[in-house]
Amino acid sequence: MRYKIPISILALVYTNDLEVLLLERADYPGYWQSVTGSQEEGETLVETARRELAEETGIDALRYGDVIDWKMQNDFEIYRRWAYRYPPGTTHNTEHVFALAVPGHVPVRLAPREHLHYLWLPWREAAARCFSWTNRAAIEALPAHVTTPPRNPE
């Protein structure tokens, strides 16, 4: 088994109206989150965010102007249920927050092994639905980070 690197991204996808895309975990039904994923060897964090968006949702970040690094990171204890994915003795992960503005409810193609459903919710409702405190905090910070409306693809 190849272990995960304990460095990850959280990528918020949001619309002009501050609706946020949430995904329901396949391995933990009833638990909702934004796009997340671990960095792979040799990848930059931006590359990780783009890859995870494409893998989990089918969304091409470059089509909408690319992900924005919020320069926000969270250190958290890895949930016990997922600890086996990391090298023995690894207890914490560092998560880096990114965001992608889209012009509206863009098409989403879920990775069925990772997610069961998706939905778009107003940011306050989305924050309340997330099981992860880091995800809630990122969504709650969304209004302060939005400066320009999402770009329509060309």
Helix (H) or strand (E) holding 46, with range, is helix 45-57
Report which DSSP code applies to 88.
T
Look at residues 94, 91, 87, 92 and name the one whose alpha carbon lies nearest to residue 36: 94
Look at residues 28, 29, 49 and name the one whose alpha carbon lies nearest to residue 40: 49
Q: What is the pLDDT along the chain (154 residues), one digit of tens a residue?
A: 789 899 999 999 999 999 999 999 999 999 999 999 999 999 999 999 999 999 999 999 999 999 999 999 999 888 888 898 899 999 999 999 999 999 999 999 999 999 999 999 999 999 999 999 999 999 999 999 986 655 666 5
Structural domains in the chain? 7-145 (3.90.79.10)
- Write the single-letter amino acid at 97: V
Q: Which residues contact 52 (CB under 8 A, 6 or more apart)?
A: 9, 11, 35, 36, 37
CA 108 to chain centre: 14
State whether residue 64 is helix, strand or coil: helix
Report which DSSP code applies to 108.
-
